[in-house]
Chain A
Amino acid sequence: MKVLVAVKRVIDYNVKIRVKADNTGVETANVKMSMNPFDEIAVEEALRMKEKGIATEVIAFSAGPAQCQETIRTALAMGADRGILVQTDVELQPLAVAKLMKAVVDKEQPGLVIVGKQAIDDDSNQTGQMLAALLGWSQGTFANKLHVADGSAEVKREVDGGLENIKIKLPAVITTDLRLNEPRYASLPNIMKAKKKPIDVLAPDALGVDVAPRIKTLKVEEPPKRKAGIKVKTVAELVDKLRNEAGVI
């Protein structure tokens, strides 16, 4: 079966975010961009399925501006077979991304779709669940372990109280949590090879999807800053402050 993975281009997790002075968003000019870390985990999981002979082809999907090609190239360098970019400069919200992915799924007919549980920029945690809903498929969210066999998937999920095991029918959408695997680094020969792998570029219109945002961002602001407090020298001093100044113990 084919496996489709989503790879989103986001501001690198190490970058210190700066809110724009006009409060329209965050500064993205000259900022390091990377693949969303949860999507690296998604790519890795798909590649392991291919290495085990469960997956026949791994397709990397991204939606956004032309630069998302770089993110797809990263997935190809890790080992994905080909890429699909839905290119648009419109601000994409999770419902729109899910609709674009559904159109691609209808065309490609993968047996499994793997996406990150959340993108570390917008922190929505929605796209995978929305895609599963639109397709009428089952969903295995926040996956800690995935075992695919005989038309179904066993998914160990990270939930509030610990872990939960579910069995879901294929085709399905999986969203990755941090402990699912440790993504590989691309080797130099594979980076070279990736340059020759094909990337299809499509427009949202061609897929018949209206990507207009449903949610309007009115403004983006700095969070209230916490002031650094004091350093205490001894445990006795700390306990005294907690008891008599903060009143928390």
Chain B
Amino acid sequence: MAILVVAAHDGKTVRANVANAVAAASHMGSDVHVLVAGSNAGDAAKSAAAIQGVAKVLQAEDAAYANWLAEDIAPLVVKLAPNYSHVVMAADSVGKNIAPRVAALLDVAQVSEAIQVVSPDTFVRPIYAGNAMATVQSSDKIKVVTIRPTNFKAVAGSGSAAIEQIGGAGASGLSSFVGAELSKSERPELTSAKIVVSGGRGLASGENFKMLETLADKLGAGLGASRAAVDAGYVPNDYQVGQTGKVVAPDLYIAIGISGAIQHLAGMKDSKTIVAINKDEEAPIFQVADYGIVGDLFQIVPELTAAVDKK
């Protein structure tokens, strides 16, 4: 049976993590379909068709799908699901919102944030903030799975899958979209950036984060933060890296004024190279850092910014 990947998109292109979900799905079976539901989602459907490994794209047009409300999208997925062995979504804020609703409507369990597909019914997933790895086996007929994008590399190349138009299921009338307050940034998106510069409570103010912005821009990096920095209002919520924020795995993660609580480590310890800048040499972040530098960030960060300039 085929696998259905449910794609989030902005109307123009599907999110980058859809290619990761397709890569994960290809370990569950060979025939991967992508559902692109939306209002004027033609371009997004085309972008899905161009992902390597996609056999078919289902485009569902309905005004109700414009803003990805779970109450409206879930019934559509549920209607399609009996033709599939698996329903797969990336474990981002869209997937986490919709997949459990789909699973419950199908009366099946859901597997959250799989990091490895052992076999079509067996998955590895982190529990306890990544301090333990559980191998779990699902006995349900349809398996609803969210996958952690950073653990599945998109397959190289491009495809040209057929796009099939399917009808929408209409609006539930339960919820409506009012508006969004999105953080505007020219910087690379946190979860796909090659380099991430991240700041914690040690920055002491939102104003001081400007210093990290300068460094990030020099490196072409995305900007992240600890929960403490978000709670204190230094930066918006979507900067939070960790167990209950975003999971990142860049080539280089620079933790600045972050102590390294397990909840923070859960979101970044799969980074290839980790750098820690902290004035406390006992800070737990040094236990996972490849390169640590003990000292005052207010002195080190400007020095570092100047040094990366000099080739």
Contacts and interface: CB of A to CB of B under 8 A. Distances in A.
A215 B177 CA distance: 34
A232 B292 contact: yes
Shortest Cβ-Cβ A-B pairs, 4 listed:
A229-B290, A129-B100, A130-B104, A133-B104
B96 A141 contact: yes
B70 A123 contact: no
Given A95-B104, A158-B238, A215-B138, A169 B174 contact: yes
B108 to A, nearest CB: 7
Contact of A231 (B69, B92, B138, B286): B286
11 contacts: A26-B127, A38-B244, A128-B100, A130-B110, A162-B237, A166-B175, A166-B176, A216-B137, A231-B281, A231-B286, A248-B252
Nearest to B306: A235
A246 B244 CA distance: 29
Interface string B163-187: 0000000001111111111110000
B280 interface: no
A154 B178 contact: yes
Interface string A174-216: 0001110000000000000000000000000000000001111
A66 interface: no
A220 B132 CA distance: 6
Nearest to B115: A223
B93 A220 contact: no
B251 A248 contact: yes
Interface of A: 11, 13, 16-17, 19, 26, 38, 93-95, 98, 117-118, 120-134, 137-142, 144, 154, 157-169, 177-179, 213-223, 226, 228-236, 238-239, 241-242, 246, 248-249
Interface residues of B, number: 87
B1 to A, nearest CB: 19
Contacts of A141: 70, 96-97
A98 B104 contact: yes
Nearest to A135: B104
A229 B289 contact: yes
Given A126-B100, A132-B101, A159-B180, 11 more contacts: A16-B131, A121-B128, A133-B104, A161-B182, A162-B181, A165-B178, A166-B175, A218-B135, A231-B292, A246-B273, A248-B251
Contacts of A216: 136-139
A138 B238 contact: no
Interface in B87-121: 92-94, 96-105, 107-113
Main secondary structure of the interface of B (DSSP, over half): mixed
Interface in B277-302: 281, 286-294, 300
B21 interface: no
Contact of A166 (B136, B178, B182): B178
Contacts of A223: 126, 130-133
Contacts of A93: 109
Interface string B213-246: 0000001000000010011000011100001101
Interface centre among A122, A133, A163, A179 (most CB of B within 10 A): A133
B92 A160 contact: yes
A244 to B, nearest CB: 12
Contacts of A95: 103-104, 107-110
A120 B243 contact: yes
Contact of A129 (B97, B126, B130): B97
Nearest to A134: B104
B2 interface: no
B134 interface: yes
Given A178-B227, A179-B231, A215 B111 contact: yes
B3 to A, nearest CB: 18
A138 B175 contact: yes
A142 to B, nearest CB: 7
B43 interface: no
Contacts of A11: 128
Contacts of B237: 144, 158, 162-163, 177, 179
